Structure 1
Amino acid sequence: MATALEKPAPAVESLPAGRPRTGLRRYWHLYAAISPFYLLFLCFGLIPVGFSLYVSLHRWDGLGPMEWAGLSQYQYLLGDGDFWQSVGNTIVIWALATFPMIFLAMVTAVMLNSAVRFKNVYRFAYFLPNVTSVVAVAIVFGSVFSTNFGLVNALLQAVGLDQVAWLNTPWGIKIAIATLMTWQWTGYNAIIFLAGLQTIPGELYEAARMDGAGPVQTFFRITLPMLRPVLLFVLVVSTVTGLQSFSEPQVLLQNTANESTFSGGPGHAGRTMVLYFFQQTFDNNDFGYGAAVAWGVFLVVILFSIINWRLVQRRGED
């Protein structure tokens, strides 16, 4: 007979039959609910991007068999003067449009924020250009900047100045495109700035007024520092959209040169990077080199976005 009693082993509990399953099978209905977005992104986003990279390594006219080219397309791109001209045109147009647009959007937002009556009417009026068809607006601006019957030249003549062939000179083309882009995006960014202004506590402005700060000091000491994240967002978005401009020069300049639709006007002064991509792909039927140009555009946009982000962040740290 045993002198000591042994402690019985604990009984193993069996899992109840109705216990919910864990992992993918448990939440399959949730994954199924969000799957359409990822399927559409896969079909119309990720696969085309990967295919464009694959095409950029081949010579292809869009119909016949592909011919392996390796990195020769990119080597040619680095020495392509037309591509670098389009890069320069795009950067100049972006600069002429973005900085005045941000200034006007900021001023408009401050005015809207201080308005007492008809705020919603003003917001709608300023936002309307952004939802208007770019093609229709470009046609209207083509008439505005017309050499013989344009409104801009009529105003110049009214003050005793000579006419300017806006759509037939290099700088006139760039100014016309930049003006169109500024008019289109000022209201949109003004609404973004207005949303940022409404998050700034009113106590800060009251304390500044009690300390004797004027409107200018209040703007640079309170408003602008508090709006730095919004300014960063506006600058990055404006960089991405501005460096990918296509419809504005394509419609505005399609009847100003006896060349292809994507020539960018006389002297190719309005041929942006995306316009050059379309010219190589659909006018020259060179899909391989067009894909290489598209990746060049992507790298330029990423580079300028990083530069703008770093500049704004550095000023915030200072």
Structure 2
Amino acid sequence: MSAPARAARTRSWRPAPGHAFVSGYFVLLVVFGIAPAIYALYLSVTDNAGGFAGLSNFVRTFQDYRFLPALGHVATYLVLWLVTLTVFVLLLALLVHRLTARWSRAALRFVYYVPGALAGASSVLLWLFMLDPSVSPAAGLVRYLWGDTFVSVIAPGNLPLLFTVIAFWTGAGGWIVVMYGALNTIPHELIEAARVDGAGPVTVALRVQLPMLRKWVVYMLILSLAAGTQLFVEPQLVSQASFGVVGTDYSLNQLAYLYAFNQGDFNGSAAIAIDLLIVALCCSGLFVARGGLFDAD
């Protein structure tokens, strides 16, 4: 590029308001996201003395007898969580969108969103109360589904489903509101044209509305996947409440915590963290590629 062309390009650039809006986020991303990830990567390939260790920390943590069970627990939870989230969020958003009364739409959106106001730990404590057959207001249903004692309810085999219920309770409301807003951006003329052609509510939803929500669904899946891989608060509180029935190494984040603060092995903990980051990035890349998140309409 010639000097006059570079000068013209420099003069044509002006800081847009959008740059000011994203500047704060960019600073936070660098300080609390990118920089810690780089430091974790450094720790994962070094030893306690700071010498280069290659992939030995990754191999060592992978060979830990607790690693594969923890990986299986997180994977099972993620499958249940993402499938449940996608199906029910879309169904509930479509239900709210079809309501004709404005007050009923507003009331449902408020009801859906309220559980999200509770912090993660508060929601888990609430559900520990709800899942204890001796004190739960839904004791009959709890006993029918999982057993007569709190220990039988929180048995390790039940935890992926229970964590899915807790996560849906706390996180789905916000996404229902987002999907409802996305449904409102679909041109009304397009839906009316489909109805004139004889399409019923189910056909309109499957052939018109859901395809146009594809990018929003991909966006939801990416953020929910990132949050789901960080499973920690729920099993940690359940482990404390169960008095040892559920181990403190149920999830990979718990295992990384044990490596760092029980064993003093920050290099192994960083290796587990990088494993989670790689899996999350690969799955997110797959969602972006298959869902066309950045394709121009």
Q: TM-score, normalised by structure 2?
A: 0.81
Distance 1:203 1:239, change over 3 A: same
Q: Give 1:80's aligned residue.
A: 64
Rounded to whole Å, the distance in 2 between the matches of 1:312 and 1:79 is: 35
Paired position in structure 2 for 1:196: 182
Quick one: which of 68, 91, 102 aligns to 1:107?
Answer: 91
CA distance 1:166–1:117, change in 2 (3 Å) = farther
2:146 equivalent to 1:149: no
Q: What letter matches 2:70 in structure 1?
A: S
The counterpart of 2:148, out of the listed 160, 163, 172, is: 163
1:35, CA displacement in angstroms?
6.9
- Asked if the contact 2:133/2:140 (under 8 Å) is kept, the reply is no
Larger helix share, 1 or 2: 2
Give the drift of 1:287.
Answer: 0.5
Specify every segment of 5 or more residues in structure 2 that has no aligned partner in the other structure, as ranges.
Answer: 1-9
One-letter amino acid of the structure 2 residue matched with residue 218 of structure 1: V
Q: Separation in 2 of the partners of 1:146 and 1:223?
A: 41
Other-structure match for 1:91: 75
Q: CA RMSD in A?
A: 3.1
What SS does the corresponding residue of 1:58 show, helix, strand or coil?
coil
Distance in 2 (CA, whole Å) between partners of 1:36 and 1:105 is 31
In the other structure, the counterpart of 1:173 is: 159
Summarize the alignment of residues 64-79 of structure 1 with structure 2, pairs less than 5 Å apart: 66=50, 68-79=52-63
Q: Give the secondary-structure state (helix, strand or coil) at the position aligned to 2:102.
A: coil
Q: Equivalent of 2:251, from 272, 276, 295?
A: 272
Q: 1:42 to 1:266 in 2, by over 3 A?
A: closer
Q: 1:193 to 1:298 in 2, by over 3 A?
A: same
Shift of 1:215: 1.2
**Greater Rg over alpha carbons, structure:** 1
The CA distance in 1 between the partners of 2:285 and 2:195, in whole Å, is 37
Are residues 233 and 253 of structure 1, via their aligned partners in 2, closer, same or farther at CA, if it must alter by over 3 Å?
A: same
**In structure 2, what is the Cα distance between the partners aligned to 1:186 and 1:32?**
31
The answer for the alignment partner of 1:54 in structure 2 is 42
Give 1:12's aligned residue. none
Counterpart check, 1:294 vs 2:280: no
| Corresponding residue to 2:102 among 91, 95, 117 | 117
Q: Scaled by the length of structure 1, what TM-score is found?
A: 0.76
Query: What does the per-residue CA deviation read over 1:166-193, in whole Å, with 9 as the maximum and x for residues that have no partner?
Result: 5542222222111101111111110111
Q: CA deviation at 1:251?
A: 2.1
CA-CA distance at 1:48 after TM superposition: 2.4
Asked if the contact 2:47–2:267 (Cα under 8 Å) also holds between the matched residues in 1, the reply is: yes
Cα offsets for 1:27-50 (capped at 9, x unmatched): 8xxx99987665554444433222
Equivalent residues of 2:44, 2:267 under 8 A apart: yes
Deviation at 1:201, TM superposition (A): 1.0
Query: Is the 2:239–2:247 contact (alpha carbons within 8 Å) kept by the matching residues of 1?
Result: no
* Higher alpha-carbon deviation: 177-186 or 299-308: 299-308
> Would the alpha carbon gap of residues 161 and 141 (structure 1) be closer, same or farther in structure 2, given more than 3 Å must change?
closer
1:310 and 1:153, CA in 2 relative to 1: closer, same or farther beyond 3 A? farther
